[in-house]
Amino acid sequence: MLKFFAKYKFLAVVMLVLSVVIVSIMYSILKPNPTLPIYEPDMVNLELVDSTVQHVRKYHKIKDFELVNQNGKTITQKDYQNKIYVADFFFTTCQTICPIMTDHMVQIQERLDKQNDTTVYLISHSVTPTIDTPERLKAYAIQKGVDDQRWNLVTGDKKQIYELARKSYLVAKSDGDGGPYDMIHTENFVLVDTKNQIRGFYDGTNPEDIEQLMDDIELLKTL
């Protein structure tokens, strides 16, 4: 018996290696490639979606916009054309979730800078545009260490910001008390792809979600 196994030892080893290779190939073929969903309004909590778009099931994209950043520069969707970006909504006088969200945005900015990444950008929209003038946003940007080349803090027409939050980014609740365009922004960060489609929502106050966002950014670059 020992002579038999000794005789065919080499063949057995070859067959074992071959079997491992075949199993590995079959696994790689059958295993689905990682991807990210494309979020449509009907996939999101209806409280965060304007009633006019709640029924939309496909082809949803971030609408064109024209706002002003911390340097007084007009920012439009063209500034984010063919770029991946992370968006959120905040206001400079917020003392609850906004400071945490901004600190996490700063961390994202710093990590992208360390990677010498020139493909991913950031945009934060003020939900109190009458208070958050470009001058006030500039002071806030300096205080927080905002990189003007990557991150825009924007202000502008209140109706436009409201509609961006509820009809495009799907991240704000309607207040309904202080006026027709009042809203309660959420802690959500939104990941947007090069085609202006939403690819992810993340809790901007949660460090674990920030890690997931960074992983998803790397994945999105490959899709």
Q: Which residue has the tokens 């070859």?
A: 14
CA 181/CA 189 separation, integer angstroms = 21
Q: Is residue 203 pLDDT above 60, yes or no?
A: yes
Task: Summarize pLDDT for 95-136 with one digit per residue, the tens.
Answer: 999 999 999 999 999 999 999 999 999 999 999 999 999 999
Known binding-site residues equal 94, 98, 185
**Can you give the pLDDT at residue 182?**
86
Task: Summarize pLDDT for 126-180 with one digit per residue, the tens.
Answer: 999 999 999 999 999 999 999 999 999 999 999 999 999 999 999 999 876 557 7
Known binding-site residues for Cu cation equal 94, 98, 185
Mean residue pLDDT of the chain comes to 90
Q: Is residue 14 pLDDT above 80, yes or no?
A: no
Lowest mean pLDDT among 11-20, 82-91, 154-163, 196-205: 11-20
**Can you give the pLDDT at residue 34?**
85
Contacts of 171 (CB under 8 A, 6+ apart): 48, 88, 89, 165, 185, 186, 188, 190, 201
Task: Enumerate the domain spans of the chain.
Answer: 1-31, 41-222
Q: Is residue 1 pLDDT above 60, yes or no?
A: no
* Whether the Cβ atoms of residue 62 and residue 167 lie closer than 8 Å to each other: no
**Can you give the pLDDT at residue 180?**
76
On the 0-12 / 13-18 / 19+ scale of CB atoms within 10 A, 121 is buried
Helix (H, G, I), strand (E, B) or coil at 153: strand
**Can you give the pLDDT at residue 177?**
59
- pLDDT-derived band at 33 (thresholds 50, 70, 90) equals confident
- What percent of the chain has pLDDT above 70? 84
Q: Which fold has domain 41-222?
A: Glutaredoxin (3.40.30)
Task: Summarize pLDDT for 36-78 with one digit per residue, the tens.
Answer: 999 999 999 999 999 999 999 999 999 999 999 999 999 999 9
